[in-house]
Amino acid sequence: GQNIDQPTEMTATEGAIVQINCTYQTSGFNGLFWYQQHAGEAPTFLSYNVLDGLEEKGRFSSFLSRSKGYSYLLLKELQMKDSASYLCAVRDNTNAGKSTFGDGTTLTVKP
């Protein structure tokens, strides 16, 4: 099975940078995803890492270290609309590759 840990809540200031960490223990690994979920809405895909290193996509970057079972999502130039839950999800190595989600980190961006 998969065990995924991420902080429950974080608060940051508009314009700042925030890093959301995720650690995982897995019986099979074929990639790590970050999703954003606003209250009452569906998750939306942000990033995918399968190899070690940093993936950058605009204001958002995601990092993976497979040996450490560790990832982070970095959000730069925070905007009020970035207030949401951020879900770390690990894909297993079966054919259809189900994902196991963490509990999510609720980020509040303050003015």
Partner 1 sequence: EPEVTQTPSHQVTQMGQEVILRCVPISNHLYFYWYRQILGQKVEFLVSFYNNEISEKSEIFDDQFSVERPDGSNFTLKIRSTKLEDSAMYFCASNQQGSKGYTFGSGTRLTVV
Query: Judged by CB under 8 A, which stretch of 9-17, 18-26, 63-71, 88-96 contacts partner 1?
Result: 88-96
The yes or no reply on residue 86 touching partner 1 (CB under 8 A) is no
Residues 3, 28, 19, 106, Cα dihedral to 10°:
-40
The residue count of the chain comes to 111
The yes or no reply on residue 23 touching partner 1 (CB under 8 A) is no
CA distance 78 to 86: 14
The yes or no reply on residue 51 touching partner 1 (CB under 8 A) is no
Interface residue with partner 1 among 13, 44, 65, 108 (CB under 8 A) is: 44
